[in-house]
Amino acid sequence: MQITFNHLDNNENYYFLIKNKAKIYLVYSDELFLLNETIDNIYTIYVKLDYELIKINISSLEDINYLNEHFNNISLLNNKKIINIKLNNKKYFNIITDIIKNLLNQNNEIFVEIKIIISILDNNFPLLKNNELFQLINNYGIVIKIPKITKNILGMWIQKRLYLQNQILDLNSCNWIASMVEGNLLAAYQEIIKLGLIFYNKKQLFLEDIKRIIVNSSKFNLYDLRKNILLGDTNKSINILKKLQYEGENISLIIWGIVEDMYNIQKIDHNILKRLSIKDSFKILEYLHMLDCMIKGFKTTNINTWDFLEMIVISITNPKFLTLLKHKKALI
């Protein structure tokens, strides 16, 4: 069975998808952001159903062996697993096809609860010659096609995304955002998140609101702040932070950027992990959450939010200052 991403635009549809009890899913697209988002939405539901998540990126024969080990070690006591196979190297298609064939032919009860998602970053995947893998999954599972978001429909996509976060903006204004990001889907998504953070208590948005935010963000150097924090340059990070404060940057936007980096820190640079442990990064996230609550009025405090943010930045660049944050937390 084949469906498109357009049918999967809310949680109810994802639950409906899973109620089909398919053993295997194939998700393919040219848009990495949408590909990952769709897979994450499927994950979320299965994790709520107590499935263990396993991700395997197939780029070598060692990865194939690793995948087979997972299937061979599955037991009756722990068989609820969802396995994401990222398959972007065409030379392994035949091997994966044989593995999937064997799995689908299994009547063993051990495999009843196994779910597999194969993700492929290639919109032309079904057109590949002798594509047995596509036909196999189309016949026995669910194929999810994610169509490309072209420039001429990006404005409508932005409008729909804003609506999903409970914000309304007319189509002309959404088209203006699309033109500002020059058709870049990921950049458009970041602007949507930004509008949700800044206008979290405002449902109806207007062009005047978003122009001020989006134009300002191109003038301010938030990227440099995030880069220098991760590089561990305390002095430069604080200088940029002071500049952003002086120029009127929205503090919620800065917090969002730092939070995003903290969540992705393991994927960015192992040198960062030598300086900032995983335990420390969780502490930083806790302080960022507290700061966000202070800004939104959920916590009452006399502490200056910009001073608190400055201390967080210093602690990321030099974790020995985390003790100062701990003392600050006691005052909140």
pLDDT at 99: 86
Average pLDDT, the chain: 80
Res. 118: pLDDT tops 70: yes
CA quadruple 14, 17, 21, 26: dihedral positive or negative? negative
**What tokens does 18 get?**
């899973």
Mean pLDDT of 41-47: 84
Is residue 227 domain-shared with residue 259, that is, in the same domain? yes
Res. 65: pLDDT tops 80: yes
Query: How much of the chain exceeds pLDDT 90, in percent?
Result: 8
pLDDT at 157: 93
Query: How much of the chain exceeds pLDDT 70, in percent?
Result: 83
Res. 281: pLDDT tops 90: no
Which of 161, 186, 219 finishes a domain? 219
Q: Within its chain, how far is the Cα of 184 from the centroid?
A: 16
Is residue 36 domain-shared with residue 111, that is, in the same domain? yes
Res. 227: pLDDT tops 60: yes
Q: What is the pTM of this model?
A: 0.60
pLDDT at 304: 83
pLDDT at 273: 64
What digits encode the pLDDT tens for the residues 15-35? Answer: 667 777 778 889 988 888 888
Which of 123, 145, 167 finishes a domain? 145
Which of 185, 219, 253 finishes a domain? 219
Is residue 212 domain-shared with residue 257, that is, in the same domain? no
**What tokens does 39 get?**
């897979």
Is residue 196 domain-shared with residue 103, that is, in the same domain? no
Is residue 194 domain-shared with residue 316, that is, in the same domain? no
Task: Find out whether 222 and 259 touch, Cβ atoms under 8 Å.
Answer: no
| Residue 308: CB atoms within 10 Å | 22
We report the CATH number of the domain holding residue 193 as 1.10.8.60
Is residue 86 domain-shared with residue 130, that is, in the same domain? yes
Is residue 238 domain-shared with residue 202, that is, in the same domain? no
Task: Find out whether 150 and 53 touch, Cβ atoms under 8 Å.
Answer: no
Mean pLDDT of 190-201: 87
pLDDT at 158: 94
pLDDT at 322: 82
Is residue 202 domain-shared with residue 226, that is, in the same domain? no
Mean pLDDT of 52-75: 81
- The number of distinct structural domains making up the chain is 3
Is residue 279 domain-shared with residue 164, that is, in the same domain? no
Is residue 14 domain-shared with residue 135, that is, in the same domain? yes
What digits encode the pLDDT tens for the residues 158-187? Answer: 999 999 899 999 999 999 999 888 788 888
**What tokens does 159 get?**
């409008």
- Long-range contacts of the stretch 230-235 (C-beta < 8 A, 24+): 230/261, 230/265, 230/268, 230/269, 230/272, 230/316, 231/317, 232/272, 232/275, 232/317, 232/318, 233/317, 234/313, 234/314, 234/317, 234/318
Question: How would you class 316 by CB atoms within 10 Å of its CB: exposed for 0-12, middle for 13-18, buried for 19 or more?
Answer: buried
What digits encode the pLDDT tens for the residues 228-257? Answer: 888 888 888 887 888 788 677 788 888 888
Res. 260: pLDDT tops 50: yes
We report the CATH number of the domain holding residue 293 as 1.20.272
The DSSP bridge partners found for residue 53 are 82
State the residue range of the domain holding 288. 220-332
pLDDT at 219: 47
Res. 9: pLDDT tops 60: no
Q: Within its chain, how far is the Cα of 93 from the centroid?
A: 26
Is residue 202 domain-shared with residue 248, that is, in the same domain? no
What digits encode the pLDDT tens for the residues 134-147? Answer: 888 888 888 888 88
We report the CATH number of the domain holding residue 87 as 3.40.50.300
Res. 8: pLDDT tops 60: no
Res. 74: pLDDT tops 70: no
Is residue 303 domain-shared with residue 178, that is, in the same domain? no
Mean pLDDT of 51-77: 79
